[in-house]
Amino acid sequence: MPGVRTPNGRVAELEPAMAGAAKATASGRAARDLVVSNVRKAFDRTEVLHGVDLHVPEGAFATMLGPSGSGKTTVLRIVAGFERPDAGTVTLGGKDLTALAPRARGLGMVFQSYALFPHLTVEDNIAYPLRVRRMKAAERRRRVAEYAGRVQLEPYLGRYPHELSGGQQQRVALARALVFEPRLLLLDEPLGALDKRLRTDIQEQLKELHREIGITFIHVTHDQAEAFALSTLVVIMRDGGVEQAGAPEQLFHEPATLFVADFVGGANAVPATLLERGVHGAHLQLHDGRRLRVPPAQVAPGVGASGDVTLVFRPDAGTTLASGDEHPGDDVLTLAGTVRDVTYLGGKYELSLDGGGARARVHSGAAAAIGATVHACWALDCCRVVGQPDGGG
């Protein structure tokens, strides 16, 4: 596990896992980590960021993931300098950027709409940040050719943006944001406007670029699959705060809250009471009276010694039981329910079960009839104990 779990899941520390990151830290200079500390921001007296903390190690591919309105784009715009925070600081490699204008920060940014200059050719669009920096013509041409090559745009240098497809425009925006070799690349939902197939291609290209160039990428999306496909560090945002940050594997296997579990995997949740915690695990009582013991590693940080908690478990971690085998053992959670819906996922089915007090979804190799009674089970080391829904873990 590359990530280090933190007590409240708000600050993420992550060992650089990527080749580019390893190269950058091996060079010996001080790491240019991006640190966002206690950033607050209000628009029209409504606070949209309530003290955001973020630590992105140099060379990471970090993604801020969250539903719309969670504040992820505002954080990105504050890092870029397009918004000024009401409180808090943004530092890069120890240097305070908070009061600097966007142009003084030297960061690359890809806008959601790409923001290509319609009156300039692809070549002049890519050359724009170099002209701003008064780079000599020969060096400028060499640099434009290099970065156009990196994103396979050489044949289109003479075209205007409106003559390009969405994917090509996106690559122009990328080349323009990278050509002046910024210390950080910010991407605001750059794949949002593209169709699914193209998105997969561009995701691979983005990862390749990140490996080759080795600088920190910070990306914003509401798409969990995209975040997991791209990132070494995922920051889950909710209601203007960081809910949890960590490697994708960590978020998937060790969600700190019900919100995270639901957002990254689509979790089942049943309420339970934590009776006591010990070295051998947490003793829980379900509302139907059943008692379970969950391994200690599966109790989220922040859960108290006792009290009301939530047991979460993913549909794909469970199996259905053949009739006559309804009591497979003590180290499993079993649920029985009436089949409400069946969805074919390709190779397997997802059954929606209604078990009276509890509803749950489970994956199954075989279809089931609507209205049939099905028994399903989950190994307890795949279940996770988190706080109550509004407790925030």
| Residue in 29, 45, 162, 196 binding other proteins, rule: CB under 8 A | 162
Minimum gap (Å) between residue 156 Cβ and other proteins = 15
Q: Which phi and psi (to 5°) does residue 81 adopt?
A: 100, 5
| Residue in 54, 90, 107, 247 binding other proteins, rule: CB under 8 A | 107
How is residue 337 written in tokens? Answer: 């329910």
Of 123-152, binders to other proteins (CB under 8 A) are 128-129, 132-133
Partnered with residue 281 across adjacent β-strands are 278
Minimum gap (Å) between residue 133 Cβ and other proteins = 6
| Cα gap 163→175, rounded to integer Å | 17
Q: For other proteins, which is the closer residue by CB, 128 or 228?
A: 128
Q: For other proteins, which is the closer residue by CB, 65 or 107?
A: 107
| Residue in 117, 142, 291, 354 binding other proteins, rule: CB under 8 A | 117
Partnered with residue 343 across adjacent β-strands are 350
- Strand 373-379 and strand 332-344: the pairing is antiparallel
Which of left, alpha, beta for 17 (phi over 0: left; psi -120 to 50: alpha)? alpha
Q: For other proteins, which is the closer residue by CB, 4 or 132?
A: 132
Q: For other proteins, which is the closer residue by CB, 53 or 124?
A: 124
Q: How many residues bind other proteins (CB under 8 A)?
A: 27
Helix axes 166-178, 196-213, angle to 10 degrees: 20
In the shown chain, the binding pattern of residues 75 to 104 toward other proteins, with x for contact by CB under 8 A and - for none, equals: -----xxx------------------xxx-
Compute CA 188 distance to the chain's CA centroid, rounded to the nearest angstrom.
13
| Cα gap 258→263, rounded to integer Å | 8
Q: What H or E segment, with its residue span, contains residue 226?
A: helix 224-230
How is residue 288 written in tokens? Answer: 């139907």
| Residue in 17, 31, 115, 368 binding other proteins, rule: CB under 8 A | 115
Minimum gap (Å) between residue 331 Cβ and other proteins = 54
Minimum gap (Å) between residue 310 Cβ and other proteins = 42
Q: Could you write out the DSSP letters of every residue in 29-97?
A: SPP--EEEEEEEEEETTEEEEEEEEEEE-TT-EEEEE--TTSSHHHHHHHHHTSS--SEEEEEETTEE-
In the shown chain, the binding pattern of residues 166 to 205 toward other proteins, with x for contact by CB under 8 A and - for none, equals: ----------xx--x-------------------------
- Say if CB 244 and CB 52 are below 8 A apart: no
Minimum gap (Å) between residue 84 Cβ and other proteins = 14
Q: For other proteins, which is the closer residue by CB, 117 or 155?
A: 117
Minimum gap (Å) between residue 129 Cβ and other proteins = 4
Q: For other proteins, which is the closer residue by CB, 133 or 327?
A: 133
Q: What H or E segment, with its residue span, contains residue 347?
A: none
Q: What 3-state DSSP class applies to 240?
A: coil
Minimum gap (Å) between residue 105 Cβ and other proteins = 8
Using CA atoms, how far residue 256 sits from 42, 127, 166, 362, in Å, is 27, 45, 38, 22
Minimum gap (Å) between residue 384 Cβ and other proteins = 41
* Cβ neighbour number for residue 303 with a 10 Å cutoff: 21
Using CA atoms, how far residue 243 sits from 86, 189, 256, 258, 294, in Å, is 21, 20, 8, 10, 23
Q: For other proteins, which is the closer residue by CB, 111 or 228?
A: 111
113 binds other proteins (CB under 8 A): yes
Helix axes 166-178, 122-132, angle to 10 degrees: 20
Q: For other proteins, which is the closer residue by CB, 111 or 252?
A: 111
106 binds other proteins (CB under 8 A): yes
| Contact stretch for other proteins (CB under 8 A) within 113-121, 286-294, 344-352, 354-362 | 113-121
Minimum gap (Å) between residue 134 Cβ and other proteins = 10
376 binds other proteins (CB under 8 A): no
Instruction: Report the interface residues with other proteins, using CB under 8 A.
Output: 80-82, 101-103, 106-109, 111, 113, 115, 117-119, 128-129, 132-133, 160-163, 176-177, 180
